[in-house]
Amino acid sequence: MKTLKNIVICATLLFLASCKGFPDAPLNEAIVQESVALTGTWKLKKATQFDPVAISKGFPDEKYIRYNDITANFAGITNYQISFQGGNYTVTNPSPAVLFGTGGTWSFNDKSPDGRRKIVLSGAAANGEVEFGTSYRPSDNQLNLYFTRIIGGKAIVRYSYEFVK
Amino acid sequence: MKKYILSFLLLICVVVSSYAQAKVEISPKNFTAEDKITITVDVTGTILDGVKPLYLWAWIPGCCGADNGDWNNSNEANKLTEVKANVWSISFVPTAFYKRSAGEINEIGFLVKAKDGTGDKKTQDMGSKVESLVFVPNKLRVFPSQFTQDDVITIVYDQKLDDNPSMKALKEVYMYTDINYDAGADRGVFFQPVSYDGVGDSNYVKFKSEGNGVFTLTMVPSSYYGSAATPVSEGRRPSGRFQINSIKVHVRSKGNPFAGGAPQPAASLGDVFLTPEK
């Protein structure tokens, strides 16, 4: 019995000794990934608008109450293109329904009070925040950006823009 | 032996049942998560009889707790007010108290306890259902409910909700509109893109039929009223930097409802004003 106990202890110690921690991710890995995600020219596929006030009140999940697909409401909106290169971005075929302005510079803001990474677009509409809608995977060939209109610290309108390369 | 066990269990039951249950009253009885409520608890005859002060320990069933502090050291913000001997109350708005949106609060749960609840110095669990905030459909509304002049808005006219038979009969719906805006030193400037007489001939102010009696007109106000493509009927079309103070929306028929001999049906909803956030 004692022999068996010693074998178990030794095996456990050997197992623990053989464990290696996962290598730490480079400190700037996330930044590089998201920078890579943005880089290139993106064409707008779909634009959807949400009413955060209606959502927070638990109103019905219906068109014109919680959301509205505005893609078909603006002629030529699917010709809208945004191109991120280095620290600059340019817009081709702008639309009043896409609130990123006509171009400028961009950077990340990691000091947002809600802790979420924001994308600062110098030409974007005032009183708003841009952020990634979903995680980016190159195989998806899709970039989702959210624009949230903030007035008096409160989100009043939210836009989801879906782009493809 | 069996006799002793039974006696012991009976003794426990007597001890446990010797404490009364706290009586609770919530005012108003029916409330939403955005209403101010007052919870009044009478702890007479309970383990908290005579204990001072008392605190609320609150949670949302199936979700999460409020800022309760620790069980042996309740948050001072949750201290109840003594109304009279053994009767305590606290008032709050659930969304603010629980720090959750109204959509997340369908029910509230709470108990009352001593600051240090060790030793079961607490009442029984209590609670109440919370009524949902009700969306009230309106024949004319705007989506989203709050917006700036640079946001996309959709003006929605729902014919089904209109009591006016002439409006209900319309196959086409138009908007007579003007704005009041500020630009630099100029305040309260008036601009009207299409005249009242011209409304029925302008696709610029025509609603889109979505079927089922729903008509919509989608725009970005700053662009709709202030771009080179905006028609001009009266006043000065805004340009450069300007701020819209109000948008007049007057939903009507193609024919002028106030002109004699207009093709029927002819009717209007009258003036409604939208105010963009600044």
Whether omega before B231 lies within 30 degrees of 0, making that bond cis, reads no
Number of DSSP helices (H) and strands (E) in chain B, helices first: 4, 19
What are the tens digits of pLDDT across the range B28-66? 988 989 999 999 999 999 999 999 999 999 999 988 999
ipTM, interface predicted TM-score of the complex = 0.80
Whether omega before B53 lies within 30 degrees of 0, making that bond cis, reads yes
Q: A74-108 in b/e burial notation, b at 16+ Cβ within 10 A? A: beebbebebbbeeeebebeebbbbbbbbebbebeb
The Cα B112–Cα B89 span in angstroms is 10
Range A29-52 average pLDDT: 82
* The predicted structure's pLDDT at residue A7: 53
Q: A10-33 in b/e burial notation, b at 16+ Cβ within 10 A? A: eeeeeeeeeeeeeeeeeeeeeeee
Residues paired with residue B277 on neighbouring β-strands, in sequence order: B148
Residues in B lying within 8 Å of A, measured between beta carbons: 34, 101-104, 132-133, 135, 141, 143-148, 150-152, 154, 156, 216, 218, 220, 222-223, 227, 277-278
Range B215-238 average pLDDT: 97
Judged by average pLDDT, the poorest of A133-137, B36-40, B196-200, B220-224 is A133-137
Q: pLDDT band for position B7 (50/70/90)?
A: low
The Cα B54–Cα B52 span in angstroms is 6
The Cα B205–Cα B266 span in angstroms is 16
Residue A129 in 3-state DSSP?
A: strand
Q: pLDDT band for position B217 (50/70/90)?
A: very high
Residues paired with residue B174 on neighbouring β-strands, in sequence order: B206, B252
The structure tokens listed for B5 are: 């066990």
What are the tens digits of pLDDT across the range A49-77? 999 999 998 899 999 999 999 999 999 99
The Cα B174–Cα B234 span in angstroms is 18
Residue of A53, A70, A127 lying closest to B218 (CB–CB): A70
**CA of B143: which chain A residue's CA is closest?**
A64
Q: Which residue has the higher pLDDT, B214 or A34?
A: B214
Residue A58 is classified by DSSP as T
Chain B CB contacts of A60 under 8 Å are 135
What are the tens digits of pLDDT across the range A86-101? 899 999 999 999 999 9
* pLDDT of B19 above 80: no
Chain B CB contacts of A55 under 8 Å are 101, 103
Q: Tell me how close the Cα of A136 comes to any Cα of chain B, in angstroms.
A: 27
Chain A CB contacts of B144 under 8 Å are 49-51, 53-54, 156-157
Tell me which of A50, A56, A102 to substitute to probe the interface with B (most B C-beta atoms closer than 10 Å).
A56
* The predicted structure's pLDDT at residue B6: 55
Whether omega before B28 lies within 30 degrees of 0, making that bond cis, reads yes
* pLDDT of B12 above 70: no
Residue B203 in 3-state DSSP?
A: helix
Q: B130-161 in b/e burial notation, b at 16+ Cβ within 10 A? A: beebeeeeebbbbbbbbbbbbbbbbbbbbbee
Chain B CB contacts of A114 under 8 Å are none
* The predicted structure's pLDDT at residue B5: 59
* pLDDT of B122 above 50: yes
Contact criterion met (CB below 8 Å) for B55 and B75: yes
Residue with tokens 């702890």: B43
**CA of A61: which chain B residue's CA is closest?**
B135
What are the tens digits of pLDDT across the range B128-144? 999 888 888 999 999 99
* The predicted structure's pLDDT at residue A20: 41
Q: pLDDT band for position A114 (50/70/90)?
A: confident
Judged by average pLDDT, the poorest of A146-150, B2-6, B129-133, B209-213 is B2-6
What are the tens digits of pLDDT across the range A140-153? 788 899 999 999 98
Q: pLDDT band for position A33 (50/70/90)?
A: low
* The predicted structure's pLDDT at residue B258: 87
Q: How many Cα atoms are found within 13 Å in the side-chain-facing hemisphere of A23?
A: 4
